[in-house]
Amino acid sequence: MSRARFVSDREASWKRLARVLNDLESRGRKSSALHAELPSLYRAVAGDLSLARHRAYGLALEERLNALSLRAYHQLHGARLGLLRRFGRFVTVGIPRAVRAEGRLMLLCSVLFWAPFILLTLAGAWAPHWVQAALPAEMAAGLDQGFGGESIQRDSQSNLMMFGHYIRNNVGIDFRTYAGGLLAGVGALFFMIFNAIVLGAAFGYSWMQGYSETFLRFVVGHGAPELWAIVVSATGGLRLGLTLIAPGRRSRRAALAEDGRRSVHLAAGAGVMTTVAAFIEAFWSANDFSLTVKLAVGGPLWVLVPAWLLFAGRRR
């Protein structure tokens, strides 16, 4: 069969496929009788592409059929439904399951985070020189100014403004911790331990200076999700780094692709937790309620967050 004859025979089918694809790409998947033809048209054009290649009908024709096939392939295999429901399930069940899937790494990161944190907090009372060594001077001054007085002083009165700032700053820290894991896991550990030291030093400093109650009133509300989010994102980053070093029985490329897509659930989870923490920090934490009220509201979170990570979504 000559090329001219081939093209004239099959042109109608290709034009029809192009029409269906244009309709799908512009109007989305609102069902229409036209769309039902996509599978058969796609099979037809795939067959035509093989024929055109086999009979060497020229590059232009091959490119055209290749383009049509690729577009149809994307439409057939690209269905994504129920985004909001998927996100809801991710937050309630998906994040804890992802965390438990990396149980050993999570345990390691938890220890590596909480140990320096608690040590530096305790150092505030028993070994103040460690706190002074670890805490940057500007941060110390900021803490003095914010919590030195009777009530919590935040330098800006606008809660919404602080919300924006916390999102940008804190979620950025989480994402950078995660991405840093690619440096053989060292980047993730570095960011996490650095944050543990500085934050622990802040706690210790407030104890040292004697305004630990005021400081506690500020942080107890949002501390749990924020600190655990750092651990979760470091776990994700560590997973990346370990896969890079020890891909096991898979090729490095395949291992990275597989584990990368799984570990991003941890990064996204950390982002969600930090967003919640930022919300609490911006709109609740700076309010000047008494320690009892703050503990009553914020205390349960310190139990709930680890419990959620440990138990939510377990299948019987």
Partner 1 sequence: MKQTDLALPIQTPEGSTLILRPAGIAVRGAAWALDALARATVYTVCAIPLGLLGRTGFAVLMLLLFAGEWLYFAGYEAFRSGATPGKRRMGIKVVQSDGGPVSIEAALVRNLVRFADTLPFAYGAGLVSCLSSSTFQRLGDRVAGTLVVHVPQDATNSSLTLATRLTDITQRRAQGRAQRAQDEQAENSPEPERPAASLTGHEAALLLSFEERRARLHPDRQIELANLLEPLTGQRGEQALATLRANAHWLEGEA
Residues that bind partner 1 (CB under 8 A): 2-5, 18, 21-22, 25-26, 42-43, 46-47, 49-50, 53-60, 62-64, 66-71, 73-74, 77-78, 80, 156-158, 160-165, 167-168, 171-172, 175-176, 178-180, 182-183, 187, 240, 253, 256-258, 260-261, 263-265, 267-268
Q: Which is nearer to partner 1, 141 or 257 (CB)?
A: 257
Question: Cα(279)–Cα(253) distance, rounded to whole angstroms?
Answer: 38
Q: Give me the least distance between CB of 70 and partner 1, in Å please.
A: 5
- Please name the residue that has the structure tokens 């192009």: 18
Q: Which is nearer to partner 1, 76 or 291 (CB)?
A: 76
Q: Give me the least distance between CB of 66 and partner 1, in Å please.
A: 5
Q: Which is nearer to partner 1, 260 or 299 (CB)?
A: 260
For residue 158, is it left (φ>0), alpha (ψ between -120 and 50) or beta? beta
Q: Name the token pair of 193.
A: 């331990």
Rg, Å, the chain Cα set: 28
Neighbours of 42 (CB within 10 A): 20
Q: Give me the least distance between CB of 55 and partner 1, in Å please.
A: 7
Q: Which is nearer to partner 1, 127 or 179 (CB)?
A: 179
Q: Give me the least distance between CB of 284 and partner 1, in Å please.
A: 16
Instruction: Read off the amino acid at residue 184.
Output: A
Q: Give me the least distance between CB of 107 and partner 1, in Å please.
A: 23
Q: Which is nearer to partner 1, 87 or 311 (CB)?
A: 87
Q: Compute the half-sphere exposure of residue 102: CA atoms within 13 Å on the CB side of its CA.
A: 30
Question: Cα(316)–Cα(185) distance, rounded to whole angstroms?
Answer: 33
Q: Give me the least distance between CB of 44 and partner 1, in Å please.
A: 11
Question: Cα(120)–Cα(55) distance, rounded to whole angstroms?
Answer: 75
Question: Cα(96)–Cα(313) distance, rounded to whole angstroms?
Answer: 7
Question: Cα(199)–Cα(277) distance, rounded to whole angstroms?
Answer: 15
Q: Which is nearer to partner 1, 79 or 137 (CB)?
A: 79
Q: Give me the least distance between CB of 34 and partner 1, in Å please.
A: 15
For residue 210, is it left (φ>0), alpha (ψ between -120 and 50) or beta? left
Answer whether 166's CB lies under 8 Å from 281's CB: yes
Q: Which is nearer to partner 1, 109 or 201 (CB)?
A: 109
Q: Which is nearer to partner 1, 3 or 314 (CB)?
A: 3
Q: Give me the least distance between CB of 59 and partner 1, in Å please.
A: 5
DSSP state of 171: I
Q: Name the token pair of 258.
A: 């597989």
- Please name the residue that has the structure tokens 């941890």: 266
